[in-house]
Amino acid sequence: MNVPQLTPALHGRFSPLRFDPHHRLSGSDVETLLEAARWAPSAGNAQPWSFHLRRRGEDGHEHLVAHLAGSSRRWAPAASALVVNLAHHEVDDSGMLYSEFADYDLGQAVAHMTVQAHAMGLSCRQFRAFDLEGLHALLGVRPGWRILTMTAIGVPLRDDGTPPPRERRSIVDLRTAGVSSP
Ligand SMILES: Cc1cc2nc3c(=O)[nH]c(=O)nc-3n(C[C@H](O)[C@H](O)[C@H](O)COP(=O)(O)O)c2cc1C
């Protein structure tokens, strides 16, 4: 990626597949990352999100690792923390919508956490490769809430000091792909 006019927090961000297995997140690092998510915008300020975070070595971390899929088990356990990202869809089990924008808002809160992590010299990889049903049962997810994704947070290991190449669709495609009458 070579777009130097982007803010460094976006320019340098990438999702690593290798984390430093010795790095440890401090309690205040965790607070700062959660604050970043907390201050994300949301529809009607509903804040329809929750984050179950366990640092490597902390009680409960091993249970999260046990629910990783084969692919993520190769790299996510080495991250300094694993976060389960949950969205609040319905009011308890009433069938009444809590927020129409729960997934959208959760994604935005995770993005805030990701950018904050980058500013702290950390990196995040969001992922879906885990046992969704098993994790719901393990954590006793409340009625109306849903697990969407997990995030691995830590210090990336880079073989040669440069981030891996990142691919994106073109700006033209971005502007036209979603509508038939541009
Ligand atoms: C909702 C979501 C789900 C993802 N699921 C996985 C996954 O299951 N496994 C994985 O290795 N990466 C996963 N990723 C990471 C993406 O593959 C990665 O963000 C994408 O390739 C772009 O790379 P970059 O973040 O370095 O720019 C996921 C990302 C998002 C946002």
Domain count, the chain: 1
- Kindly report, residue by residue over 55-86, the tens digit of the pLDDT: 999 999 999 999 999 999 999 999 999 999 99
128: domain CATH number?
A: 3.40.109.10
CA angle 80, 103, 10 (to 5 degrees): 55
Q: Residue 35: enclosing H or E segment and its boundaries?
A: helix 27-38
Asked whether residue 170 is domain-assigned, the answer is: no
Check residue 39 and report its DSSP letter.
Answer: T
73: containing domain:
16-156
User: Are the CB atoms for 157 and 23 separated by under 8 Å?
Assistant: no
Which protein residue has the closest C-alpha to ligand 1 atom 18?
Answer: 15
- Kindly report, residue by residue over 32-62, the tens digit of the pLDDT: 999 999 999 999 999 999 999 999 999 999 9
- 126 in ligand 1 pocket by Cβ < 6 Å? yes
Alpha-carbon distance of 48 to 39, in angstroms, equals 12
Asked whether residue 28 is domain-assigned, the answer is: yes
- Kindly report, residue by residue over 82-112, the tens digit of the pLDDT: 999 999 999 998 889 999 999 999 999 999 9
Mutate-to-test residue for ligand 1 from 127, 151, 162, 167, highest number of ligand atoms within 8 A of CB:
127
Q: Which atom of ligand 1 is nearest to the CA of 163?
A: 26
Alpha-carbon distance of 50 to 56, in angstroms, equals 19
Asked whether residue 2 is domain-assigned, the answer is: no
